[in-house]
Amino acid sequence: MRMRPTLHWTPPSDLPPGTTDLRPVVEAVRAGGVLVLSGAGISTESGIPAYRGEGGSLSRHTPMTYQDFTSSPRARQRYWARSHLGWRTFGRALPNAGHRAVAAFARHGVLSGVITQNVDGLHQAAGTQGVVDLHGRLDRVVCLSCGATSPRRDLAVRLEAANAGFAPTVAEINPDGDADLTDEQVGDFRVVPCAECDGVLKPDVVFFGEPVPVHRIEHCRRLVGEASSLLVLGSSLTVMSGLRFVRQAAQADKRVFIINRDPTRGDPFAVTRVALPLGTALTTVADQLDIPVDGQPAA
């Protein structure tokens, strides 16, 4: 029997409320050795919506699952039509204050690493080196038959050529880079095959219902083991792919700090959850530590 992935989580009533006190986070960053785990919430200020929380995309759509994508040509057609349009916006997104602050922390030597659940590449665009893309990158494409990878921009050119004039109105862009389209808008959109072997192309990301590669998980576990503390940024931790690292840190008596507007599944393991916008919160932390952001002296 096929299992549907966990998409929603209802917070228990006994979770402590969030705070606006950033002092514990400031002290943790000051001490150094902080491992960052970021989620969709850090990219909302770049115009990419979160999955959950107020205005989250899951309130209006169900994301593509690995099982549906691999088993249904019609599902792949819908996905690539929506993703092709979404890429025009998603691919132009720029890092925001939160990404820039994380990059500044890394340059200042207070981070032990960065793991992101996002597929947008915005941490790297902000200048952070060595980011672990837990769920892959949307700017790469992989063939499910021969394993060849290629840049997403190359596929975009091929899809444009195969679907001249395809330009339905896009209302919303989702965190996984696809646009909300009706079946009527999808129409007879043409999907192109792998240029090497005519196989099925898939974005080089981990879909819902698809396991994260074991080697990637083990790498992240090593990072958690080596870190002094864990700082979660903009993730509800609803799915186990991120929550497992919070649990690991807590079991090893490492302090966990969370900055997220809404309650998370990791709250019971955390020292504190700061309920502030990430750009504001992280810029404030940088200011209090006199860490320059974007090469400018801290205020």
The confidence score (pLDDT) of residue 8 equals: 57
Q: Are residues 108 and 230 in the same domain?
A: yes
Identify the burial level of 29 via C-beta atoms within 10 angstroms of its C-beta, where 0-12 means exposed, 13-18 middle and 19 or more buried: buried
User: Hey, how many other C-beta atoms are within 10 angstroms of the C-beta on 164?
Assistant: 8
The confidence score (pLDDT) of residue 89 equals: 76
Binding-site residue ranges for Zn(2+): 143, 146, 194, 197
CA 89 to chain centre: 16
Upper half-sphere CA count for residue 267 (Cβ side, 13 Å): 22
Binding-site residue ranges for NAD(+): 117-120, 234-236, 278
The reported pTM is 0.88
Domain that holds residue 88: 59-92+139-205
Domain assignment present for 295:
yes
The confidence score (pLDDT) of residue 61 equals: 55
CA 278 to chain centre: 14
Q: Are residues 196 and 115 in the same domain?
A: no
* 171/179 Cα distance (integer angstroms): 7
State the total domains in the chain: 2
Catalytic residue among 84, 99, 123, 135: 135
In the 8-state DSSP scheme, what is residue 19?
Answer: B
Which residues does the chain have with pLDDT short of 70? 1-9, 50-62, 170-172, 175-176, 295-299
Characterize the bridge pairing of strands 229-233 and 34-38.
parallel
The confidence score (pLDDT) of residue 56 equals: 43
Binding-site residue ranges: 117-120, 143, 146, 194, 197, 234-236, 278
Q: Are residues 163 and 267 in the same domain?
A: no
The confidence score (pLDDT) of residue 47 equals: 87
Q: Are residues 123 and 261 in the same domain?
A: yes
* 39/116 Cα distance (integer angstroms): 6
Q: Which of 189, 205, 221 is the last residue of a domain?
A: 205
Active site residue 135: yes
Which sign, positive or negative, has the C-alpha torsion 54, 55, 59, 61? negative
Q: Are residues 234 and 280 in the same domain?
A: yes
